[in-house]
Amino acid sequence: MAKMLARLDDKERRRRPSDEELVARARELSVRYLDGRARPSSVRWSSNQGRRWGSCTLVDGSIRISTRVQGMPAWVLDYVLLHELAHLLHAGHGPDFWKLLDGYPRTDRARGFLEGVSFFQDGGSMGDPAQDD
Ligand SMILES: [Zn+2]
C-alpha cells in the first residue's frame, strides 16, 4: 500500500507545474483569451489560500494559486489562472467580469468541478461555497 501511494505521489508530482511554468501558462492564457491585457507581476503557488482557489493583489498585480489546485486537470488550473488574470482587469464578479471569461470554453465545467471538490472536502455542505477570488 505504501508503495502504491508513493507511486501515486510520483504521478501527482509530474502534474504539478513549477512556479516558472505557472508564469508561462498565465502569459499564454492572457494572450489567448484576454488579448494579452492582463500582465501579472508574479504568479506563484501558495499554500495559505484558505478555501480560496486563487487570489490576486491589484496594487502590485501579483497572483497566487492555491496548492489545492495542484494535481487537478490542466483545464481546471487554466480556469483558475484565467479567473485571477481577469480580476487584474475587473475586480468584481459582475457581468463584465464573466464576459472576460467568455472565450474560455470550459468555464462552466471547471466551476462545476471546483464546486464538486469543495462539496466533498468541506464535508458535503452546500450553501457556503468556497471563495474564488
Ligand atoms: Zn473571483
Tell me, yes or no, whether 64 lies in a domain. Answer: yes
Work out the number of other CB atoms within 10 angstroms of the CB of residue 53.
25
Tell me, yes or no, whether 29 lies in a domain. Answer: yes
Domain limits for position 98: 2-121
Residue 83 Cα to ligand 1 middle (Å): 6
Which residues fall within 8 angstroms of residue 34, CB to CB, at 6 or more apart?
A: 82, 85, 86, 89, 100
Tell me, yes or no, whether 76 lies in a domain. Answer: yes
- Band (pLDDT 50/70/90 cuts) for residue 128 is very low
Q: What is the pLDDT of residues 77-122, one digit of tens each?
A: 999 999 999 999 999 999 999 999 999 999 999 999 999 999 888 7
Q: Rounded CA gap, 46 and 54, in Å? A: 8
Tell me, yes or no, whether 78 lies in a domain. Answer: yes
pLDDT at position 105: 97
pLDDT at position 127: 47
Check: CB of residue 51 under 8 Å from CB of residue 118: yes
Check: CB of residue 81 under 8 Å from CB of residue 32: no
Tell me, yes or no, whether 53 lies in a domain. Answer: yes
Task: Kindly report the pTM of this predicted structure.
Answer: 0.83
Among 89, 34, 79, 31, smallest CA distance to 56 is for 89
Q: What is the CATH number of the domain that holds 45?
A: 3.30.2010.10
Residue 111 Cα to ligand 1 middle (Å): 11
Residue 1 Cα to ligand 1 middle (Å): 39
Q: What is the pLDDT of residues 5-56, one digit of tens each?
A: 566 555 555 567 899 999 999 999 999 999 999 999 999 999 989 989 999 9
Tell me, yes or no, whether 128 lies in a domain. Answer: no
Tell me, yes or no, whether 40 lies in a domain. Answer: yes
pLDDT at position 5: 57
Beta bridge partners of 44: 64
In the three-class reduction of DSSP (H, G, I as helix; E, B as strand; rest coil), residue 33 is classed as helix
- Does position 125 have pLDDT exceeding 80, yes or no? no
Which residues fall within 8 angstroms of residue 131, CB to CB, at 6 or more apart?
A: 50, 51, 52, 53
Number of folded domains that form the chain: 1
